[in-house]
């Protein structure tokens, strides 16, 4: 770390390279936050936290949508003191995280507003999402068939869409030229809702059975990916009358001379052997990550060849468990944050696995602590670039905070040259070995390996 700080001070590396190097080490040392910057215990009263949404401008206001139909708004810059720190807490300052009292935090984030259950939505909230450009508006979807548009200042819905079927997922197009909301529901088609005209603009038909997930392309506002109960993943161009551009085929693993038309007309084209309930694009839109109830995560190369895209055959190992036909919140870490991309996958056993996307290698396994430690994760958001912090909603009504663990040195353990004269040679060698091991752990990143 001292060499890295010296290189930054001398101008040998840029501030961005310095931040990237530090962030690279975050993902091997993520721990559940225990004392500060956490959410109140049982903040949603044992009801599943189905959706989380953090505003992308200030990374300050967090929405949480719950299975009991309530919605809460949290201010991550304000905290509420639950109790005073005592001697036991102070003594654990440098201890292992397993020794903390996870059921008795010192400070918690402030809940600034609550929409009570059954007051607006009749059934559970399936998705909440901020308007991409400010926090003055957000969108909620529910199993009661309604998508509602909210005025954040008044905390009241200003418009609603009745889709006449249970809604599993929504996604707002993040482009100023397109104000569409895509909705996946019990129906075998995708509904597109236009916020400017306050009407359902049109539908995208083609799935066999209900649709479970939708994601807009991050660059092209006219492209949309969808996953269905039929095991298919389709990419749509909403400008075309025949909107489906291609279907993802798990058997297409290299560039072949196959036309997109043959892909669209064949019957046996599957992206997964089970329902597809998770989609995520990378920021450039060149890769699409999908997951299904066949316990597989697949990575698709979307640009190296003509349609259909190619399955890159990256193996993420045998630990991924995904049997529930509900939307699963797989996500990538911010691209500018690290040189190596990481995929976060919430498994059924309540653990969150962090994989390297380049080869599928398991980087870390996050296991819940505290008295309630068995509920699986059903929603997840990143706290912002270069923070290494994630907030995860669980089936048992908790919102868990994960952040990097930096071990602070104890001044009593630091050996100065003049003090070494009074120590036994064995003690000096043992201390230096311990310090060398700590440095090796800190320097286990690409910067120090180069």
According to the model, what pLDDT value does residue 268 have? 77
The whole-angstrom separation of Cα 310 and Cα 341 is: 19
Name the residue with tokens 């929409």: 115
Region 351-370: mean pLDDT is 92
Instruction: Return the domain boundaries, the chain.
Output: 1-29+416-450, 30-415
Flag the least confident range among 142-146, 324-328, 361-365, 395-399.
324-328
Can you give the pTM of this predicted structure?
A: 0.85
Name, of 82-96, 163-177, 280-294, the range with top average pLDDT. 280-294
According to the model, what pLDDT value does residue 229 have? 93
Cβ atoms of 295 and 313 within 8 Å: the answer is: no
Neighbours of 104 (CB within 10 A): 13
Region 291-308: mean pLDDT is 88
According to the model, what pLDDT value does residue 6 have? 78
pLDDT at 347 exceeding the cut of 60: yes
According to the model, what pLDDT value does residue 91 have? 58
Q: CA angle 92-93-97, nearest 5°? A: 65
Region 154-163: mean pLDDT is 92
Q: Which residues pair with 346 in a beta bridge?
A: 352
Flag the least confident range among 110-119, 194-203, 423-432.
423-432
Instruction: Please measure the distance between the N-terminal and C-terminal CA atoms of the chain and give it in whole angstroms.
Output: 15
Q: What is the mean pLDDT of the chain?
A: 85
According to the model, what pLDDT value does residue 413 have? 54
CATH class of residue range 30-415: mainly beta
More confident call, 318 vs 446: 318
pLDDT at 422 exceeding the cut of 70: no
Q: In 3-state terms, what secondary structure has residue 333?
A: coil
Please report how many Cα atoms fall inside a 13 Å half-sphere around the Cα of residue 117, on the Cβ side: 12
pLDDT tens-place string over residues 385-405: 999 999 999 999 999 999 987
More confident call, 439 vs 376: 376
pLDDT at 421 exceeding the cut of 60: no
According to the model, what pLDDT value does residue 448 have? 47
Q: What is the DSSP letter of 309?
A: P
pLDDT at 314 exceeding the cut of 90: yes
pLDDT tens-place string over residues 255-271: 764 555 557 777 778 99
Q: How confident is the model at residue 449 (pLDDT cuts 50, 70, 90)?
A: low
Q: In 3-state terms, what secondary structure has residue 22?
A: helix
Phi/psi at 411 (5° precision)? -60, -25
Region 88-111: mean pLDDT is 70
| Tokens found for residue 152 | 């954040």
pLDDT tens-place string over residues 65-78: 999 999 999 999 99
Q: How confident is the model at residue 290 (pLDDT cuts 50, 70, 90)?
A: very high
pLDDT tens-place string over residues 176-208: 778 899 999 999 999 999 988 888 878 898 899
């Amino acid at each position: 770390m001292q060499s890295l700080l010296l290189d930054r001070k001398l101008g040998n590396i840029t501030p961005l390279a310095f931040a990237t190097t530090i962030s690279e080490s975050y993902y091997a040392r993520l721990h559940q936050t225990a004392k500060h910057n956490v959410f109140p215990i049982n903040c949603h009263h044992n009801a599943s936290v189905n959706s989380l949404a953090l505003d992308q401008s200030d990374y300050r206001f967090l929405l949480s949508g719950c299975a009991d139909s309530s919605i809460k708004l949290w201010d991550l810059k304000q905290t509420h003191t639950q109790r005073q720190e005592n001697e036991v807490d102070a003594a654990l300052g440098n201890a292992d995280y397993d020794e903390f009292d996870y059921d008795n935090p010192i400070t918690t984030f402030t809940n600034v507003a609550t929409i009570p259950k059954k007051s607006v939505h009749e059934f559970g909230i399936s998705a909440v999402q901020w308007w991409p450009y400010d926090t003055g508006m957000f969108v909620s979807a529910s199993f009661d068939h309604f998508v509602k548009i909210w005025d954040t200042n008044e905390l009241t819905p200003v418009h609603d869409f009745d889709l006449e079927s249970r809604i599993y997922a929504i996604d707002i197009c993040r482009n100023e030229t397109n104000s569409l909301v895509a909705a996946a529901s019990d129906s075998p088609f995708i509904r597109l809702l236009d916020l400017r005209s306050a009407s359902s603009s049109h539908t995208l038909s083609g799935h066999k059975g209900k649709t479970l997930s939708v994601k807009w392309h991050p660059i092209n506002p006219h492209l949309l990916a969808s996953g269905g109960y039929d095991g298919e993943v389709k990419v749509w161009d909403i400008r075309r009358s025949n909107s489906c551009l291609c279907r993802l085929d798990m058997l297409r693993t290299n560039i072949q001379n196959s036309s997109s038309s043959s892909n669209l007309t064949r019957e046996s084209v599957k992206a997964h052997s089970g329902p597809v309930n998770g989609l995520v694009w990378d920021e450039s839109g060149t890769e699409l990550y999908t997951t299904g109830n066949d316990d597989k995560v697949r990575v698709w190369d979307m640009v190296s060849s003509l349609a259909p895209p190619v399955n890159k055959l990256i193996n993420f190992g045998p630990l991924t468990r995904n049997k529930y036909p509900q939307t699963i919140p797989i996500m990538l870490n911010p691209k500018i944050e690290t040189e190596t991309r990481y995929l976060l996958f919430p498994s059924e056993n309540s653990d969150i696995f962090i994989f390297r996307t380049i080869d599928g290698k398991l980087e870390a396994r996050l296991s819940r602590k505290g008295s309630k430690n068995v509920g699986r994760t059903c929603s997840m958001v990143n706290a912002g670039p270069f923070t290494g912090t994630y907030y995860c909603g669980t089936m048992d009504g908790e919102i868990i905070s994960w952040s990097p663990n930096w071990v602070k040195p104890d001044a009593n353990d630091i050996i100065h040259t003049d003090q070494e004269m009074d120590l036994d040679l064995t003690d000096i060698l043992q201390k230096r070995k311990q310090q060398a091991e700590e440095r090796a752990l800190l320097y286990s990143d690409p910067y120090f390996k180069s």
